[in-house]
């Protein structure tokens, strides 16, 4: 599709976003369905987020994705946040509905679809350890707790932030908030370990959120990062006989859910996967 006066704007806001494959994935999907949109990446520093949101509104953008570090801060800048995103306390998708900016969250649903399909695990049997307590952690943790997992431990450098997330989940399952520095006390009995932080993401690919030797043998280790596909954490987990799961499937599924909200069209999942699998 050629860009013209009929073309509407979609995109992703984050800082940084140079690593993002969202433009490639969405533009391939849009081209395959001949839809009149184009999707761009916007590197927005935290202090410039209000201006960026106002700019997207003024330009009549149909919507955009929200990634690190804006998923929580953007909520106060929108006209409306749907019930699920408000309960989670984070937004990863914005839809412009006739000038009204509505915040949503497709992270949790996208993550669960990917996790179940790719690992075959039974969610109700899992004892979960979540590394991090930011916007991505909120969506994933809420979805896991709501799915009926046995228990959740949230480990974060700032315990107060982990406590905020614990309070969100406490009516759904047994949940504890602990300092990341004390992870050794809580990791041994965990069957599903989920890294929701950006530690290990391109270009800092040698970094890892926790020492690999702490990973329980045979656990499922899931990293929301998809660039690189196999982070240092996942390589270390593989070496300890763990089942590994990266963020690729979640990335595709959460993006597909957002795509459907913007376009009203069923997304071409195979095209989206193929676009970002190389």
Boundaries of every domain in the chain:
8-105+251-276, 108-246
Per annotation, catalytic residue among 71, 100, 185, 230:
71
Q: Is 160 assigned to a binding site?
A: yes
Q: State the maximum Cα–Cα separation within the chain, in Å, rounded to a whole number.
A: 59
For residue 59, what are the contacts with CB-CB under 8 A and spacing of at least 6?
Answer: 9
Give the architecture-level CATH label for domain 8-105+251-276.
Answer: 3-Layer(aba) Sandwich (3.40)
Q: Is 159 assigned to a binding site?
A: yes
Residue 202 is predicted with a pLDDT of 85
Q: Is 107 assigned to a binding site?
A: yes
Token couple for 261: 């909200």
Cα(243)–Cα(222) distance, integer angstroms: 8
Q: Dump pLDDT digits (tens) for 192-231.
A: 999 999 999 988 999 999 999 999 999 999 999 988 999 9
Instruction: Provide the mean pLDDT of the chain.
Output: 95
**CATH fold of 108-246:** Rossmann fold (3.40.50)
pTM, rounded to two decimals: 0.83
Q: Is 20 assigned to a binding site?
A: yes
Segments of the chain scoring below 50 in pLDDT: none
Residue 1 is predicted with a pLDDT of 67
34 is catalytic: no
Q: Do domains 8-105+251-276 and 108-246 have the same CATH topology?
A: yes
Residue for token digits 């309070």? Answer: 167
Which phi and psi (to 5°) does residue 192 adopt? -135, 120
Residue 135 is predicted with a pLDDT of 81
């Amino acid at each position: 599709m050629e860009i013209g006066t009929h073309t509407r704007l979609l995109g992703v806001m984050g800082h940084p976003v140079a690593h993002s494959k969202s433009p490639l994935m969405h533009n391939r999907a849009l081209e395959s369905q001949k839809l009149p949109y184009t999707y761009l990446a916007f590197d927005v520093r935290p202090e410039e987020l209000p201006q960026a949101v106002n700019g997207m509104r003024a330009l009549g953008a149909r919507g955009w994705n929200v990634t690190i570090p804006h998923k929580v801060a953007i909520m106060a800048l929108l006209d409306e946040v749907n019930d699920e995103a408000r309960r989670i306390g984070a937004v990863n998708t914005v839809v412009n509905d006739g000038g009204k900016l509505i915040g949503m969250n497709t992270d949790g649903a996208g993550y669960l679809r990917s996790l179940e399909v790719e690992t075959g695990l039974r969610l109700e049997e899992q004892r979960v350890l979540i590394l991090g307590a930011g916007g991505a952690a909120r969506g994933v943790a809420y979805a896991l707790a709501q799915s009926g997992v046995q228990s959740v431990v949230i480990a974060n450098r700032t315990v107060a932030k982990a406590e905020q997330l614990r309070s969100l989940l406490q009516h759904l399952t047994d949940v504890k908030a602990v300092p990341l520095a004390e992870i050794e006390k809580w990791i041994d009995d965990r069957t599903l370990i989920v890294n929701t932080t950006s530690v290990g993401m391109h270009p800092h690919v040698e970094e890892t959120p926790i020492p690999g030797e702490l990973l329980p043998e045979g656990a499922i280790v899931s990293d929301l990062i998809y660039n690189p596909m196999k982070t240092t954490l996942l390589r270390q987990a593989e070496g300890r006989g763990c089942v590994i799961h990266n963020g690729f499937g979640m990335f595709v599924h959460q993006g597909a859910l957002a795509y459907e909200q913007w376009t009203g069209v069923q997304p071409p999942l195979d095209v989206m996967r193929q676009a970002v699998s190389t």
